[in-house]
Chains A and B, each alone.
Chain A
């Protein structure tokens, strides 16, 4: 067995962990801005979009067995343009990591450690990220598999939220937002579900045939969609439309409202656990970024890029501290991400179909 190979189920969990992260906590808030009470429909629409992206990625990767996007780009766009694309993927990874780190530091400061400097909490995340990120894919996949327990924990905690006064009428009427608003909302949801692009980088290392992989990829994004849908509905029912408009992390506020005889403030305990999905998102993009950089500068060895990329991200996190800057940066990263998850794979797929006989594996 190759040191890099992972099983189908590990792939499933890698995708789930890549997708679920800091985005879930603020999910209904952002979608609500556009789609109002129908933001749960936006989740389903977003799922359809992602299914389309997944199909593009799958078709592209299926045509070139044993190759990652880094090889395919050079195959069709030539040495220099291909390397530019790879470099941009590395840069994209850095930007997303920075975004994760910045949002995380902001969240921690607002919710748990008010007086601890951001540089310290960021350092904790980055150093943990390095420790996992420098391991081989197998170890990363093992870790990402077991930490799914945290998602189960989230579900268990959320059951207590049913003791709140839930008004499911908030979800109605279905006509409160038009098609355009729903799609704009789903755009926001898609951003919270990013991470499936990891498949562009790990596809050749999964043991299994393409059909099985397609099934598992679909199962992964569907599970994530169900999770998001569940929380969207739950928070929409818990809070009135006016409330949601002013609370940036509805899921946390929902948990904050609960209290028990032994534990109050479940949100804090939950948030401490939620560090793990945040860190896994970080590690996924560290893997993307470092493997792109490794292919460009280090003959495929990720050992060094892991360190300097993390250092770069740590540096960037110092730049964005106030709320407006964070928001701008976050929007910027979100907007460019569609180039990397959709545009580039699509262009490569079209090129691959046009230049049929170039570099297609014949096994």
Chain B
């Protein structure tokens, strides 16, 4: 499956890539020289703190990153209490390591005539509290969301999945700003090929500054020129853990609340943790509604346009009269109406997102009510079109992952165009294009449109309907998990009644 990548690996090892690495400089015997080289490394920055301790050495740290309290309480107290304190702490002997430690909020202790430096964790960050992510609200279930602190995020994951095989691998990216990234997976579930492919792709991710996992996403995703997201980005720990348990991996970056999950399939974007916290009738109903909204989101405007522009005869005569009545005084062709209305709607939603809460509501009123009714009264857009576009927008907002819902609305534009040019035929061809594309797409070598294509009937228990949880006894085979069995027979008691 990954033959292609193996061949290229060698090329990279020979130095095909530009290396950002700096040659390592060791610490010297001289205390003052060491202090000077650290100051030099930080280009005489003003927030570099120093504190001399008699008979011991010099503490050096970045004031802005450390908690002064911790220095007082832990280090100074510890040094006073016993001479053995230092031996318990950890050491480094390279200048670069010293710098990296300091950038992470550590305090360094340098001693006279000593080629090693001691470091103490004194990091003092301010974190926001754990709240529910605003983009992924649910009704029932856990309301925890990731925050901007990596160790807290990993803690959230670990607390949900108490598993000794849960592996966290730290990696650092960005040469001008060391961003720590954690790769999380469950060792006895994930397929090794996928992991190998991930590490191989990440080995190319070299850049000066990696702001967020979003950078990494664009570096490692399979196909950049596809409208569909090929990695699930989520802020919910429960969603991450559920995916880890199906043999996927997650990437969480420090200072970012987003976790990227792959290899993912298309239908995962239509599932919400809510589905699994309610009984299966409701869960299935909601899943169906969302998949219906997928179709409405892409096709409804184009179908409407095709009907009024080409195929009058498809709808009954009375209905056609009603439609015609609203269209009578509108001077534009339906495609212009549709596109302009859709753009207005995007404007309103974008403006409402950027503005603070209370003003955003005003935008809703002004945009939705005032513009909506005004354009109809001015005969710029027909009533029917307003209904169609509003329905489409609402449908697209039901999709639980924002990226996918935006994608759906984006895909609606070419659909409208196809509908207005070629009627139903145009829509049929456009849908075919999308379907072929979905069949072709892969996420880390795994088919994206699974379990529909390739069709695996027994795995469709969670696609259109959410079958009762006890019916999904096996994990999806597309991630090629090592242990396919998810559960035993939770309803076994039924037999013994």
State which residues 98-135 of A face B: CB under 8 Å: 108, 112-113, 116, 120-121, 124-125, 128, 131-132, 135
CB–CB B314/A147 < 8 A: no
Whether A113 lies near B425 (C-beta < 8 A) is: yes
Q: B316, A269: Cβ atoms under 8 Å? A: no
Asked if A240 is an interface residue, CB under 8 A from chain B, the answer is no
Complex CA–CA separation, A142 to B314 (angstroms): 32
Stretch touching chain A among B89-97, B182-190, B234-242, B429-437: B429-437
A361 in the interface (beta carbon within 8 A):
no
Is A166's CB within 8 Å of the partner chain B? Answer: no
Q: Could you say which of B1, B310, B449, B453 has the most chain A C-beta atoms within 10 Å of its C-beta?
A: B453
Closest chain-A Cβ to B390's Cβ sits at a distance in Å of: 21
Asked whether A139 and B314 contact (CB < 8 A) given A146-B435, A272-B424, the answer is: no
Q: By the criterion CB–CB under 8 Å, are A264 and B313 in contact?
A: yes
**CA–CA, A141 and B439, complex, Å:** 9
Least CB distance from A157 to B in Å reads 14
A145 at the A/B interface (Cβ < 8 Å)?
A: yes
**Do A10 and B314 touch across chains, with their CB atoms under 8 A apart?**
no
Within 8 Å by CB of A124, from B311, B422, B447, lies B422
A299 at the B interface (CB under 8 A): no
A121 touches B435 (CB 8 A): no
- Cβ of B279 within 8 Å of any chain A Cβ, yes or no, is no
In the bound complex, do residue A112 and residue B424 qualify as a contact, i.e. CB atoms below 8 Å apart? yes
Q: Which residues of A contact B433 (CB under 8 A)?
A: 128, 131
Interface bits B440-484 vs A (CB < 8 Å: 1, else 0): 100000010100111100000000000000000000000000000
CB of A348 closer than 8 Å to a CB of B? no
Chain A, Cβ-Cβ closest to B442: A139
Which size class do B's interface residues fall under? 20 to 34
* Structural contact, A268 and B314, CB atoms closer than 8 A: yes
**Among B428, B447, B449, B455, which residue has its beta carbon within 8 angstroms of that of A276?**
B428
Can you pick out 30 interface pairs between chain A and chain B where the beta carbons lie within 8 Å of each other? Answer: A9-B455, A112-B310, A112-B311, A120-B422, A121-B425, A124-B422, A128-B433, A131-B433, A132-B432, A135-B436, A135-B439, A135-B440, A139-B439, A142-B439, A142-B453, A142-B454, A263-B316, A264-B313, A264-B315, A264-B316, A268-B311, A268-B424, A269-B424, A272-B424, A272-B425, A272-B428, A273-B428, A275-B425, A276-B428, A276-B432
Q: A112-B423, A128-B432, A259-B316 are in contact. List 14 more A-B contacts (CB 8 A).
A: A10-B455, A113-B425, A120-B422, A125-B429, A135-B440, A139-B439, A142-B439, A142-B447, A145-B455, A147-B435, A265-B314, A268-B313, A272-B423, A272-B425
Nearest-Cβ distance from residue B334 to partner chain A, whole angstroms? 17
Given A131-B436, A147-B435, A265-B311, answer yes or no on A272-B453 (Cβ-Cβ < 8 Å).
no
Nearest-CB distance from A304 to chain B (Å)? 19
Q: Which residues of B contact A142 (CB under 8 A)?
A: 439, 447, 449, 453-455
User: Does A261 lie at the interface of the complex (its beta carbon under 8 Å from any beta carbon of B)?
Assistant: yes
Mark B residues whose CB is within 8 Å of A.
Answer: 1, 310-311, 313-316, 422-429, 432-433, 435-436, 439-440, 447, 449, 452-455
A134, B329: Cα distance in complex, Å: 47
Which of A10, A108, A147, A263 meets B425, CB within 8 Å?
A108
Q: Please tell me if A7 contacts chain B, counting CB pairs below 8 Å.
A: yes
A166 to chain B, nearest CB (A): 25
Given A263-B315, A268-B314, answer yes or no on A10-B454 (Cβ-Cβ < 8 Å). Answer: yes
Which chain A residues numbered 266 to 286 have a C-beta less than 8 Å away from chain B? 268-269, 271-273, 275-276, 279
Whether A324 is near chain B, meaning CB under 8 Å from some CB there, is no
Give the interface centre of A139, A141, A271 by most chain B CB atoms within 10 Å.
Answer: A139
Is A172 an interface residue, CB under 8 A from the partner?
Answer: no
Residues of A within 8 A of B (CB): 1, 7, 9-10, 108, 112-113, 116, 120-121, 124-125, 128, 131-132, 135, 138-139, 141-143, 145-147, 259, 261-265, 268-269, 271-273, 275-276, 279
Q: Which residues of B contact A9 (CB under 8 A)?
A: 455
Main secondary structure on chain A at its contact with chain B? Answer: helix
Whether the pair A121, B439 counts as a contact (CB closer than 8 A) is no
Verify A279–B432 contact, CB threshold 8 A.
yes
Contact B453 A124 (CB under 8 A): no
Q: Please name all residues of chain B whose beta carbon is closer than 8 Å to the beta carbon of A113 when the two chains form the complex.
A: 310, 422-423, 425
* Contact A124–B429 (Cβ < 8 Å): yes
- Give the shortest distance, in Å, between A295 (CB) and chain B (any CB): 22
How close is B220's CB to chain A, nearest CB, in angstroms? 21
Instruction: Check A146 against B455 for contact (C-beta < 8 Å).
Output: yes
- Name the A residues within 8 Å of B449 (CB-CB): 142, 146
| A residues less than 8 Å from B315 (CB atoms) | 262-264
- Report yes or no: B313 in contact with A265, Cβ–Cβ below 8 A: yes
Complex-state Cα separation, A131 to B436, whole angstroms:
8
Chain B residue at smallest Cβ distance from A3: B1
Taking CB atoms, residues of chain A closer than 8 Å to B423 are 112-113, 272
3 interchain residue pairs of minimum CB distance? A272-B424, A142-B453, A142-B439
**How many Å lie between the Cα of A273 and that of B435 in the bound state?**
13
Tell me the complex Cα distance, A279–B430, Å. Answer: 13
* Contacting residues, chain A, for B425 (C-beta < 8 A): 108, 112-113, 121, 124, 272, 275
Q: Name which of B424, B435, B452 has the most chain A CB atoms within 10 A of its CB.
A: B424
Residues of A within 8 A of B1 (CB): 1
Q: Is the CB of B314 within 8 A of A121?
A: no
Q: Are B436 and A132 in contact (CB under 8 A)?
A: yes
Measured CA separation A14–B440 after assembly (Å): 16
- Report B114 CB to chain A, min CB distance, Å: 58
Considering the complex, give the chain B residue whose CB is closest to the CB of A279: B432
Q: Does the CB pair A124–B424 fall under 8 Å?
A: no
* Complex CA–CA separation, A275 to B449 (angstroms): 22
